A = this chain, B = another copy of it.
C-alpha cells in the first residue's frame, strides 16, 4: 500500500496530532508550549505520543527552517565507498551534531533521486541534502516535493533551488596551470571525457589557452579499477605524455599502481595531479598533489542555506590546489 509513495506527501499538521490524540488543537498547543492552560497528565501523555508517532515537527515551514534540537535532516549520497563521498558524509554528520541536529543517510547507487526522496518523505525529515549529481529531469520533481532541499554537488547552476557547488572547471585549470609551471608541454587526461564533463573541459581549455597540443585523453569511470586499466593503456602508447591530470583521487590510486607496474615512476617519468583531496592522496606513495574540494566550507554553507528564506541561491566555492610530491614539487612531511 505504501509502494507508490508520493514525493509531495503532505506534512503532518497540528490538526493531525489533535485528531490522533482525540483532543482540540488548542490542547495540543498547551502541551507543546507548556501552557498557558494546564493539561491533565493523561491527556498530555496522549498528545506527546501522537506527536512522536506522527513525527510532528512544530515550527518547520517549507522554506526557512527554524531548526531545533529535535530536527532531523536526510543526506542522500550515491554510496560511500568513494572516499570523497565518505568524507562529505562524515562531515555532514559532524556539522549536524555541532548544530544539535540529527541525520539519516540514504545511499542510492541505482535508485533515482526522486525515489530516494519519496522514501524518506513520510518520515520525520525536516530537510534533505543531496550529494548525488541530480539529472535535470529529476530537479523539477524535487522542487515540487515541499521538503526543503539543498543540492551539494551539482556540475552546473540550478535555477529555482538552493545549492552549494564547487567550481570544478577552475579546479581543473589550476591543475594544468601548475603542471605547465613545472615545464610540462605534453599533459594527458584520465577520467570521464567530453565537453559536458567540467574537469575534462577545464583540462582541454587550459591546454588551448597555453597553445599546447591536446595530450592523450583516456576515458575512465570513477573507480580505482578503471584508473588501473587506463594506466596500462597509457603505458602501452608509443607517445607518452610527461604529465597527467586525473579526474579523481579514486582514479589516481589505480593509475599510480598501473604506472608502477609498467615501470613508470611518478613524478620522475610522469608528473601527476588529481582531483578531490581526500585522505588517500595524503598517504599515497608518493603523496598526490590534488585539487582539494572545500568540504568543510561546503557543508557549513549547506546548513546555513537551510535557515535562509531564499528559494533560489547558488553558492559557488573555489577548490584549492594542495601541493604534495606527485607533481614534481619537493617532498615534504605528510600534511
Contact = CB atoms under 8 A, between A and B. Distances in A.
Interface in A177-221: none
A119 B86 CA distance: 22
B19 A51 contact: no
Contacts of A2: 48, 51-52, 70
Contacts of A103: 106-107
A74 B120 CA distance: 12
A253 interface: yes
A320 interface: no
A329 interface: no
Interface string A279-313: 11011110100000000000000000000000000
Interface string A17-47: 0011010000000011000000000000000
Contacts of A105: 104-107
Chain A contact-residue range equals: 35 or more
Contacts of A331: 261
Contacts of A89: 80, 107
A283 B228 contact: yes
Given A51-B1, A70-B2, A93-B109, A102 B83 contact: no
A97 B80 contact: no
A257 interface: yes
A190 B102 CA distance: 35
A9 interface: yes
The winner among A70, A90, A107, A287 for most chain B CB atoms within 10 A is A107
23 contacts: A1-B31, A2-B48, A2-B70, A12-B53, A19-B20, A53-B54, A53-B122, A55-B123, A80-B80, A81-B83, A81-B86, A83-B83, A89-B107, A93-B109, A102-B119, A123-B124, A253-B283, A254-B283, A257-B284, A261-B331, A261-B334, A280-B280, A284-B285
Interface of A: 1-3, 5, 9, 12, 16, 19-20, 22, 31-32, 48, 51-55, 69-70, 72, 74, 79-81, 83, 86-87, 89-90, 93-94, 97, 102-107, 109-111, 119-120, 122-124, 224, 228, 253-254, 256-257, 260-261, 279-280, 282-285, 287, 331, 333-334
